[in-house]
Structure 1
Amino acid sequence: MNRLTKFSAILLLVACRAMADGNSNFEILANLDKGPGNVTATPSGRIVMSLHQFYQPQYTVVEYKNQKLVPFPNQELAAADSRSALKLDSVLGIRSDSNGVVWMLDNGMRSGVTPKLVGWNTQTDKLQRLIYLPGPIAPKDAFVNDFALDAARNHAFISDPAGGSNAALIVVNLSTGAARRVLEGHTSVIPEPVDLIIDNVPVQIKTTSGNLVRPHIGVNPITEDLNNEWVYFGPMHGHSLYRIKAADLVNETLTTQALAGRVERYSDKPISDGISIDHDNNIYLGDLANNAIGVINPNRSYRQLAQCPRLSWVDSFSFGPDGRLYAVVNRLHRSAALNGGDAQAKPPYYLLQVKALAAGLPGR
């Protein structure tokens, strides 16, 4: 690094520190010693996070409480070391509904168990619902990752990037437990041939034969507007965000072709992970390649809200009460899984509060 480049980097870091102290669009609420996955907040203000399975955590879901991470819903169920039916194995997607039920999407990949959607009622401190996602709903290469909750229809819409070409959405009726796999292989869910390069280093995985390949991941970010009308989604590795009406997703009379015809391209987007939305339909996301937080405005244009070296893989967003917008930073591209087998990610990871442009709905 030459002197000019080094000086520029120092200036950027100093400016970033000032921004993180409250003079910008984000602040660091907590330094975390474990790599978070996704985050949610209940209407009462409880902050619950999954811990990313790429870091092999002892507990797969935790609550940020009294400035500590404690197992959620309790130590026994959160321990990611069992094949028992109820215990959590590999949770990433996590959302709270308006009744304080925290829904956890367990992909089961650490122990090779059947994926499941688990609802835990924080009001009664009891299991609310347990829904399994067996094949062919979740095929062998499924990686059920994130989801949106539709309170009006009592459904969940799950993103499954799977193997790329067979990426799809999964529609789950939370009342009956019935599930359908839809839009499999559609343009809106499969990855585009674009590489993710962060800080001049490409994201790479090491195959069993020892080769390094650059992964292209399908549908991942997904959210639903607060009127429960439109579901927004798109491939992680892709520059397009799409949407479809929730009413169409739950309509079982539509043929595969008819449903595909209801999908519309909504806007440009950067390569991104989790997303959220506010009352004014601003869509928040992590701009992974640029260490940034961005927003897609209602006029469908994209802009950055903040850029900083500390925003190193902003993975997930969730509104809490009083208009607070939370996000997590986990530096996933420095994990062994995405850094060619070389584990370089180190704490602290972050819990952030982002300055939202409008209020949102707790848990979304």
Structure 2
Amino acid sequence: MQRSWMRLAGMALALTLVGGSALAQAQPAARLERVAVFPHQVTGVAVSNDGRIFLNFPRWTEDSPVSVAELKGGRLVPYPDAAWNSWRNAKQDEITPNDHWVCVQSVVADGRGNLWVLDPAAPALEQIVKGGPKLVQIDLATNKVVRTIAFDERVAPQGTYLNDIRFSPDGKWAYLTDSGRGALLVVDLESSAIRRVLDGVSSTQAEKGVQVRIDGRVLRRPDGKAPTFASDGIALSRDGEMLFWQAISSRTLYSIPTAALRDDKLQNPDLEAQVKKAGTTVPADGFWMSSKGTFFVTSPEDNSVKIRQAESRLVTVAQDPKLRWPDSLAEGPDGAIYVTASHIPDTRMFKLGAPVAISTALFRFMPPQ
């Protein structure tokens, strides 16, 4: 009977213990389709309600010629226009950073007709370009920038790397992770007020003893040092009442009620008291809470995307060696899940002799029903 059920389900499950939690490893049921290949480092992807696809290309190991683009007919079209994409490392004194893309990390469609672009403005993951960190709202109907929210040194001090963002269902709040110093940022979209919270606390830092392994070996820089990654992946419950996040160099998922984050009377000690351990996971980069309430997790260590089925139970739904360091996730109007393969271990940051520009890709798959 058990074997018959497994055949009907189309996957073989084997439960193992990882860090004291049940991690379900599954033969992937989803067919991974390659959508596009890029000659530059890619991280973020966004898909609008009408199926338009947007991507971003950070300036990590090269001065990428395009930072934000729309994918049209397999071609990258600078978005919202070529002017916004004209900033270059070598022309820092000639082009203003506040109204040009400097080093974009994330793009997110809010389901309300807007594309939001998060620019930490820290090329090579190093010094922040003054005046560059920003969150930009673009009207998808007109393809015009309608608002720019600047992050000054008070909320984005040197060492900050603004990473990813999620929006409340009512469109009034934005929640961000800082993967550089380790913190969360809360943005009141009505007033543009910004709060930096949980700065430096354990839940936003790398977890002691956790090292990311690629190809079975600890990921190390050319100098032999193993990097640590702070708060990165972020997800919001469908009702907007609970925020989840995790450092890449961690196996612990954390959560906090968003009501606490929205209360500007609460300071770090009060907020930290409301942080809960939401479960044990794997070193993860990107999260996505789907329209059906499915919690997707990217797993760079085994080139896969997993579903969080319970507090500490993950099931692999898509896996392929070509999905090299699955990074960011987005959802199409048909329910398809899009995921970027950013190939981070293959860059010059971690591999001597690697080319300045590397080939990366965008994939999609239909989640199993």
Normalising to structure 2: TM-score of the pair?
0.83
String of CA shifts for 1:175-219, please: whole Å, max 9, x gaps: 21110110112221110132212113432235xxxx431111110
Map of 1:13 onto structure 2: none
Match of 1:267 among 279, 284, 296: 279
Which piece of structure 1 moves more, 150-159 or 133-142? 150-159
Whether the aligned pair in 1 keeps the contact of 2:163 and 2:177 (CA below 8 Å) is yes
Q: Which amino acid in the other structure matches residue 109 of structure 1?
A: A
Map of 1:77 onto structure 2: 84
Give the 3 Å change call, closer, same or farther, for CA 238–230 of structure 1 in structure 2.
Answer: same
Trace 1:59-138 onto structure 2 (pairs within 5 A): 59-81=66-88, 82-110=95-123, 112-114=129-131, 115-138=133-156
Shift, 1:318, TM fit: 0.6
The percentage of aligned residue pairs carrying the same residue is 23
Shift, 1:350, TM fit: 1.8
Question: Is 1:173 aligned to 2:185, yes or no?
Answer: no
Map of 1:197 onto structure 2: 213
Q: Secondary structure at the match of 1:36?
A: coil
Map of 1:16 onto structure 2: none
Trace 1:1-364 onto structure 2 (pairs within 5 A): 24-56=30-62, 57-81=64-88, 82-110=95-123, 112-114=129-131, 115-152=133-170, 154-163=172-181, 167-193=182-208, 194-205=210-221, 211-298=223-310, 300-339=312-351, 341-343=352-354, 348-357=359-368
Shift, 1:122, TM fit: 1.1
| Separation (CA, whole Å) in 1 of partners of 2:237 and 2:309 | 13
| Separation (CA, whole Å) in 1 of partners of 2:334 and 2:98 | 36
Give the RMSD, CA atoms, in angstroms. 2.1
Shift, 1:346, TM fit: 7.0
Matched residue count: 329
Q: Which amino acid in the other structure matches residue 189 of structure 2?
A: L
Shift, 1:39, TM fit: 0.4
Whether the aligned pair in 1 keeps the contact of 2:98 and 2:134 (CA below 8 Å) is no
Whether the aligned pair in 2 keeps the contact of 1:334 and 1:343 (CA below 8 Å) is yes
Whether the aligned pair in 1 keeps the contact of 2:47 and 2:53 (CA below 8 Å) is yes
| Separation (CA, whole Å) in 1 of partners of 2:244 and 2:279 | 10
Shift, 1:34, TM fit: 2.6
Which piece of structure 1 moves more, 57-66 or 151-160? 151-160
Shift, 1:153, TM fit: 5.3
| Separation (CA, whole Å) in 1 of partners of 2:193 and 2:221 | 35
Give the 3 Å change call, closer, same or farther, for CA 79–223 of structure 1 in structure 2.
Answer: farther
| Separation (CA, whole Å) in 1 of partners of 2:318 and 2:169 | 31
Whether the aligned pair in 2 keeps the contact of 1:95 and 1:149 (CA below 8 Å) is no
Shift, 1:116, TM fit: 0.7
Q: Which amino acid in the other structure matches residue 229 of structure 1?
A: E
Which piece of structure 1 moves more, 28-37 or 261-270? 28-37
Shift, 1:46, TM fit: 0.8
Structure 1 gaps of 5+ residues are 1-21, 359-364
Which piece of structure 1 moves more, 188-197 or 290-299? 290-299
Whether the aligned pair in 2 keeps the contact of 1:272 and 1:286 (CA below 8 Å) is yes
Q: Which amino acid in the other structure matches residue 238 of structure 1?
A: S
String of CA shifts for 1:145-184, please: whole Å, max 9, x gaps: 1111113251111100223xxx110111112111011011
Which piece of structure 1 moves more, 294-303 or 322-331? 294-303
Whether the aligned pair in 1 keeps the contact of 2:280 and 2:311 (CA below 8 Å) is no
String of CA shifts for 1:261-299, please: whole Å, max 9, x gaps: 111111111111111012443211221111222111145
| Separation (CA, whole Å) in 2 of partners of 1:322 and 1:88 | 30
Whether the aligned pair in 2 keeps the contact of 1:326 and 1:353 (CA below 8 Å) is yes
Shift, 1:228, TM fit: 1.2
Give the 3 Å change call, closer, same or farther, for CA 250–122 of structure 1 in structure 2.
Answer: same
Whether the aligned pair in 2 keeps the contact of 1:270 and 1:288 (CA below 8 Å) is no
Shift, 1:348, TM fit: 4.2
Shift, 1:132, TM fit: 0.8
Give the 3 Å change call, closer, same or farther, for CA 23–215 of structure 1 in structure 2.
Answer: closer
Whether the aligned pair in 1 keeps the contact of 2:97 and 2:129 (CA below 8 Å) is no
Q: Which amino acid in the other structure matches residue 204 of structure 1?
A: R
Q: Which amino acid in the other structure matches residue 90 of structure 1?
A: C
| Separation (CA, whole Å) in 1 of partners of 2:267 and 2:129 | 32
Structure 2 gaps of 5+ residues are 1-27, 89-94
Whether the aligned pair in 1 keeps the contact of 2:281 and 2:312 (CA below 8 Å) is no
Give the 3 Å change call, closer, same or farther, for CA 84–306 of structure 1 in structure 2.
Answer: closer
